[in-house]
Chains A and B, each alone.
Chain A
């Protein structure tokens, strides 16, 4: 499934211009530095963090998209950095578990 397909199926709010890619894995963490060691390339990262370091770490991990939960929104400088990397930034109104359940229903394991 691609990023744009997942966006359509889950009703995510699109925050930036992103590069559409095939999604291969999922990682949930609110610890930004943990992404470097644990998130896999082409992953969906689910987090409530909105700091710029989130993009710096997700870029090193090769993440495809970031879903920011609980309706939180990043600042403009964070969006600008995400645009440079091509990583998709999205907002989801409910919490991490609610989005994780949607992914499971869509066949992610």
Chain B
């Protein structure tokens, strides 16, 4: 099939389905982004000062570059957004899901996601030189779920980290600058940074140089806010750091310890397979952290770059992992992660009991217990998939 046709079909599917799914994050984030067009440069201080008058009172827990970029973007999007968009953004009452234009709000807000999603597909093709990888990215329901149903701006840092990987050998300084922009949008790429540095070069001076380059965008974008206590207060309200150290063994946090072990082995290896290293982080992450589904997207493009990804046995374990991850997510006590996604089709979907409620009320079983078993299964299948991948790779090399 010709490229043009593939991208057009992918685009049609996205244009048809993207307006039908909702998650409250897209609304709460855009609620905050709207204040940029009202001249509020320091969103953190603004929310702190006006907390009692705002219809939505949660703090803005993201970095300044996120606010400035998506706030500016929203100003342009407002040109084509229906006139009742601002009213919807500020409506947090019972009627917030009854806006007939809701699917259009969502579609227009997701246009940048569609653009970045297709670009990721293109980059994956450029890196892997495999049409199969491209088709798999564009037409697999899991990435669609993470980008358009869980819908978060994480797709932007994800694109930037992938672009950074694409450029890392040919233009390392530019690559780390782009990586730095990804960090300035969201801190999570910091988890990948040591691996990117080792992959580029094990020369200490070079590693220091690229580390400095990677921190420049964050430092520059944070400086104007550094004197604002509201910024620090809001920013450290986010939960990832807490979640990473939540699982402990004899008071020792599991994730950081295994992370350091993976990093150590990466340092020792002669030839670093970066997508595999990130795949290991992914396995560690889903096995030891109580993750939110949107966080899975951070790793996903790198999973697509694994060698032998389509090897039947390995592919089966990936499929099994995907099913377990979805099962884990559907057992979270939050109807917005199940039926709530379908609010744009019909707000009455919210009246349907979530799997959590069904298990608890109809079967009298604690859903968290099942979730713990699912988590254990995720850890087991993760371990298995790492072994299968290693076996396949060594056979492939020999």
The answer to whether A binds B is no
Chain A residues in the interface with B (C-beta under 8 A):
none
Chain B residues in the interface with A (C-beta under 8 A):
none
